[in-house]
Amino acid sequence: MKPQWTPATAVLGLAGMALAGCSIVGNARPDPLDGTSWLLVSVDGGEPLAGIEVTAVFEGGSVRGSSGCNSFGASYEIHGDNIEIREIQSTLMACIAPDGAMDQEQAFVARLSSSETYRIANGQLRLLSSGRDLLVFVPQD
């Protein structure tokens, strides 16, 4: 018996191919940072200044937050364990108190832009360069 090809068979076949094209290809995976909010607990292995909250919120390929005195925003991309944070923009308010606030903010932004890899483990987000922790965050409530 010879198979019957009808217009309905053709439509179903094309629909199946279209749906197959929507599947995740290769080892692509969802962005594990998307929709997460973090509070900084370490810069280069040291604690941030008391009374200054530094935050990072990752959403839809963008990261935004407070760098201490100023607000910042940037774009980011994840490729496996690699992270690229670029085009960092910030408001330009002067930080008078506490002493060292501007230095900490500049260090934070510099470390953010030089992050190469990331790890999420033990409830922490670690941004690293050459295997060394630059910034460590905990989930923000």
Higher pLDDT, 55 or 5: 55
- What residue ranges define each of the domains in the chain, with the CATH number in brackets? 29-139 (2.40.128.270)
Mean pLDDT of the chain: 86
pTM of the model: 0.79
Question: Going by C-beta distance under 8 Å and a sequence separation of 6 or more, which residues neighbour residue 60?
Answer: 34
Q: What is the dihedral of CA 72, 73, 74, 79, to 10 degrees?
A: 100
β-strand pairing of 82-90 with 71-79: antiparallel
Task: Classify residue 77 as exposed, middle or buried by CB count within 10 Å of its CB (0-12, 13-18, 19+).
Answer: exposed
pLDDT (tens digit per residue) in 72-94: 999 999 999 999 999 999 999 98
* Nearest to 138, CA basis, from 45, 26, 44, 54: 54
